[in-house]
Amino acid sequence: MTSPIAHLIFHTPRIPGNTGAAIRLAALTGATLHLVEPLGFDMSEAKLRRAGLDYHDLAHVVVHPDLDAALDAVGSGTRVYAFTGHAERSFEDVRYAVGDALLFGAEPTGLPPEVLADPRLTDRVRIPMLPGLRSLNLANAAAVAVYEVWRQHGYPGAAAPGSSPTE
């Protein structure tokens, strides 16, 4: 198997629709989606299946019992970028490598302090937003980040223009 464009890591996701959308995102971009337990839903939940449409069998999704297992799975040499509204560095200032890990927290709370303090993190980054607002939707934030990684590398493996219809 070739290296994924990126490893998306969702730390204890809560909303099945967001994870379903991320499954579709992983299938469409060649990313691997890592889900860190506990999950706020069952993987067979209808909302998750509906949001992922028919992409579940096309995506590489791995469920891990904890963050240590997820980070072990992506590899010790993998750079890990934690996405948080509490970072100074903007995500687009990073020159991503193929296979970097993009770590996101749960929908209502983001990444907990103990995760943000983990020495295995390469850096903390943020997606710019207008002031006074809490956060971008998890699936949307993941899409922004994965597409930036893919864009920086020239969209390897992407379909030729006009060869795939838009829904």
Binding site, by residue number, is: 105, 127, 135
Angle at 84 between CA 101 and CA 55, to 5 degrees: 50
φ, ψ for residue 151, nearest 5 deg: -60, -45
Instruction: State how far the Cα of 111 lies from the Cα of 122, in Å rounded to an integer.
Output: 15
Pairwise CA distance, residues 7 & 149, whole Å: 10
Rg of the Cα trace of the chain?
Answer: 15
**DSSP structure class, residue 93:** G
Quote the CA–CA distance of 29 and 145 in Å, as a whole number.
Answer: 11
Binding positions for S-adenosyl-L-methionine are: 105, 127, 135
How far apart are the C-alpha atoms of 26 and 29, rounded to whole Å?
A: 5
Burial class (CB in 10 A: 0-12, 13-18, 19+), 53: middle
